[in-house]
Structure 1
Amino acid sequence: MDYKQELITTIHDLSYQPDRLEQRLIELSQTHPTAVLIPSLYEELQRPALATIRDHLSHCPFVNNVIVCLYADTFEQYQHAVQFFEPLPQPTFVLWENGPGITAILQTLKDKGLDLLRFKGKGRAVWLGLGVASLHAAAIALHDADIVTYDRSYPLKLLYPLLEQEFGIAFSKAYYARIGDNPRSLHGRVTRLFVTPLITSLMELFGYSDYLRYLDAYRYPLSGEFALSSDLALNTRIPGNWGLEVGLLAEVYRNVALKRIAQIDLGIFEHKHQTMGTSASSGLQKMCRDILHSVFRTLTETEQVVIGHDHIRALRIKYRREAQNLARQYFVDARFNGLDYDRHQEEMTIETFEQVILEAGEQYLEDPTGTQIPDWTRALAVIPDLREQLLDAIFADMAEARLAPTPTADVAAMATAAV
Structure 2
Amino acid sequence: MDFQQEFITTIHNFGVDVEHLEQRLMALSQTSPMALLIPSLYEELERPALSRIREHLKSCHYIKVINVCLYAETVEQYRNAVAFFSELPQTVNVIWTNGPRVRKLLKILAEQKLNLLDYKGKGWAVWLGLGLSSLDAQTIALHDADIVTFDRSLVAKLFYPIAEKEFGLAYNKAYYTRLGLADRSMNGRAVRLFVAPILSALQDVLGHNAYLRYLRAYRYPLAGEFAMTSDLALNLRVPCDWGLEVGLLAEVYRNVAPKRVSQVDLGFFDHKHKEVGEGPSDGLQKMCTEILGSILKTLTETESVVISDAHQMAMRVKFRRVAQDLIRQYFVDASCNGIPYDRHREETTVESFEQVIPVAFKKYLNEPAGSRIPDWTRALSVMPDLRERLLAAVKTDMAEAKLESPTDIEAMSCKLPTLMSA
TM superposition score normalised by structure 1: 0.96
Equivalent residues of 2:181, 2:270 under 8 A apart = no
The yes-or-no answer on 1:60 pairing with 2:60 is yes
Q: Is the 8 A contact 1:237 1:374 kept in 2?
A: yes
Q: The residue matched to 1:373 in structure 2 has which SS? A: coil
Task: Report the Cα distance in structure 2 between the residues aligned to 1:99 and 1:368, rounded to whole angstroms.
Answer: 32
SS state of the match for residue 15, structure 1?
coil
Deviations 1:119-168 (A, max 9, x none): 11000000000111000110000011000000000110000011111100
Answer yes or no: is 1:283 the counterpart of 2:283: yes
Report the equivalent of 1:170: 170
Note if contact 2:279-2:352 (Cα within 8 Å) is conserved in structure 1. Answer: no
The one-letter amino acid paired with 1:234 is L
Check the 8 A contact 1:141/1:158 in 2, yes or no.
Answer: yes
1:1-16 maps to which residues of 2 (within 5 A)? 1-16=1-16
Contact persistence 1:312–1:362 (CA under 8 A):
no
Contact 2:168/2:260 (8 A) holds in 1: yes
Identity of aligned residues (%): 60
1:157-196 deviations in Å (ceiling 9; x for gaps): 0000111111001100000000003321100000000000
Aligned partner letter, 1:16 = V
2:374 matched to 1:364?
A: no
Secondary structure of the 1:239 match is coil
- 1:21 Cα deviation after fit: 1.2
Helix, strand or coil: the match of 1:94? strand
Match of 2:116 in 1: 116
- Structure 1 residue aligned with 2:244: 244
CA shift digits 1:251-277 (9 cap, x unpaired): 000100111100000000001111122
Corresponding residue for residue 86 of structure 2: 86
Question: Is the 2:334–2:340 Cα contact (8 Å) retained in structure 1?
Answer: yes
Distance (whole Å) between structure 1 residues aligned to residue 405 and residue 161 of structure 2: 44
Contact conserved, 2:54 with 2:88, CA < 8 A, in 1?
yes
Distance in 2 (CA, whole Å) between partners of 1:261 and 1:112 is 36
- Aligned partners of 2:142 and 2:363: how far apart in 1? 31
2:384 maps to 384
- Aligned counterparts, 1:65-214, within 5 A: 65-214=65-214
Map of 1:16-55 to 2, 5 A cutoff?
A: 16-55=16-55
User: Over residues 36-69 of structure 1, what are the superposed CA-to-partner deviations in whole Å (9 max), with x where a residue is unaligned?
Assistant: 1000000000000001111110110111110000
What is the rounded CA distance, in whole Å, between the counterparts of 2:333 and 2:404 in structure 1? 55
1:59-116 CA-partner distances (Å, limit 9, x unpaired): 1011111000000000000000000001000000000011111110011111211111
Partners of 2:405 and 2:168 lie apart in 1 by 49
Q: Give the secondary structure class of the aligned counterpart of 1:295.
A: helix
Amino acid in the other structure paired with 1:248: L
- SS for the counterpart of 2:166 is coil
Q: How large is the Cα RMSD of the aligned pairs? A: 0.9
CA distance in 1, matches of 2:274, 2:374: 28
Secondary structure at the aligned position of 1:166 is classed as helix
Task: Report deviation, 1:334.
Answer: 0.7
Bigger mean CA offset, 366-375 vs 199-208 = 366-375
Distance 1:114 1:346 in 2: 45
**Structure 2 Cα separation of the partners of residues 195 and 298 of structure 1:** 15
Deviation at 1:405, TM superposition (A): 4.8
- Structure 2 unaligned blocks of 5 or more: 407-422
1: CA distance between counterparts of 2:376 and 2:303?
Answer: 26
Residue 293 of structure 2 is aligned to residue 318 of structure 1: no
Q: Secondary structure in 2 aligned to 1:186? A: coil
Residue 273 of structure 1 corresponds to 273
**One-letter amino acid matched to 1:244:** L
Query: What does residue 331 of structure 2 align with?
Result: 331
Deviation at 1:222, TM superposition (A): 0.3
Could you tell me how far apart the structure 2 residues matched to 1:107 and 1:66 are?
Answer: 26
- Aligned residue for 1:185, secondary structure, equals coil
Letter in 2 for 1:94: V
CA contact (8 A) 2:239 2:247 kept: yes
DSSP-derived class of the 2:174 partner: strand
Residue 297 of structure 1 corresponds to which residue in structure 2?
Answer: 297
Task: Report the count of equivalent residues.
Answer: 406
Does the CA-based 8 Å contact 1:29-1:62 persist in structure 2? yes
Task: Quote the residue 2:414 is aligned against.
Answer: none
Instruction: Give the ranges of 4+ consecutive aligned residues of structure 1 lying more than 2 Å apart after TM superposition.
Output: none
**Matched position secondary structure for 1:23:** helix
The separation in 1 between residues aligned to 2:57 and 2:161, in whole angstroms, is 19
| Other-structure match for 2:410 | none
Q: Look up the match of 1:410.
A: none
Which AA in structure 2 matches 1:47? R
Give how far 1:369 is off: 2.2
Instruction: Name stretches of at least 5 consecutive residues in structure 1 with no aligned partner.
Output: 407-419
**Match for residue 256 of structure 1?**
256
Which stretch of the first structure deviates more once superposed, 279-288 or 344-353?
279-288
C-alpha offsets along residues 292-336 of structure 1, whole Å, 9 cap, x if unaligned?
011001111111111111101110110000001001100111111
Counterparts of 2:259 and 2:404, CA distance in 1: 50
In 2, Cα distance between equivalents of 1:73 and 1:209: 45
